[in-house]
Amino acid sequence: MSFLMTICTLVVNVLCSPLHLIHAVGLYQIYKRFFPSYLYRITEGYNKIMCDPKKELFRSLPEFNKPGGQLTILEIGCGTGANFEFFPPGCKVICTDPNRHFQRYLKKSMDQNDHLTYERFVVSSGEDMGSVEDESIDVVVCTLVLCSVNDVPQTLREVQRILRPGGAFFFIEHVAAKASTWAHFFQHVFQPAWYYVLDGCEVTRETWKHVEAAGFSELKLRHIEAPFMFMVKPHIIGYAIK
């Protein structure tokens, strides 16, 4: 299967040559203007399917509020604000995303979720959140984002830096399928095209290994099979405490 996978991946890479060229000359940036609209529609369907797992996960958010304080949540790669409806009333939310064109859809989600207080939107990557102070955040949320950051370990180091002691990192991520499965095979074969369609998303990442190695004091991580197509069926879900 390994040899066949290599050949098929090479064929797909060749077919993606025009996309490679568009990316190389900088024209792919145009797509980033329209990607938020595409993701907004995808996210609506994703939330309907993953509503119960999200509710179960985010039910634990209030546990990380400081006594008498206001829970401060920072969301990495907030996108269109798909998680806002699951956040507890009264908490303060800081939104970050490297794509500034998400702001239009973010405003729409903010208007629909007035149970939250929105502090600011920061245009930044997960690897560099320098405008956020050390140990200033109660909870960092990251869903379907670690698949597209350039450096997962560095992003997790930034999470550790901005979390206060005892704060938590909540995550839901699709990950690589088990080796020697057809899902694993097709993830690798279609990855070159998938990367461009989903704005840098890599379905072949074993993200759980990075989370396990990040040095959190406590980690609650589960592998689940989400009810989606084979490319994004394997997920990890849970939270880690600093």
pLDDT attached to residue 108: 85
Average pLDDT in the 72-76 region?
Answer: 97
Whole-prediction pTM value? Answer: 0.94
The 3-state secondary structure of 129-166 reads: CCCCCCCCEEEEEEECCCCCCCCHHHHHHHHHHHEEEE
Phi, psi of 51 (to 5 degrees): -60, -50
The per-residue pLDDT for 107 is 85
Residue carrying structure tokens 């829970």: 71
Q: What is the mean pLDDT of the chain?
A: 93
The residue count for the chain? 242
Which alpha helices (H) appear in 145-227, and where do they start and end? 152-162, 182-197, 207-212
> Domain extents for the chain?
2-241
Residue 106 has a pLDDT of 85
pLDDT at 175: 98
CA distance 83 to 75: 9
Looking from the CA of 212 toward its CB, the CA atoms found within 13 Å total 8
Which tens digit of pLDDT belongs to each residue from 130-177? 889 999 999 999 999 999 999 999 999 999 999 999 999 999 999 999
Please, are residues 191 and 147 in contact by the beta-carbon 8 Å criterion?
no
Which residues on adjacent β-strands are paired with residue 76? 96
Q: Which CATH class is domain 2-241?
A: alpha beta
Whether pLDDT at 113 is above 90: yes
Does position 1 have pLDDT exceeding 80, yes or no?
Answer: no
Split at pLDDT 50, 70, 90, the class of 67 is confident
Characterize the bridge pairing of strands 163-174 and 92-97.
unpaired
pLDDT of residue 56: 96
DSSP 102: G
Instruction: Tell me what pLDDT residue 180 has.
Output: 86
Predicted pLDDT at 40 = 84
Residue 42 reports pLDDT greater than 90: no
**Residue 104: per-residue pLDDT:** 82
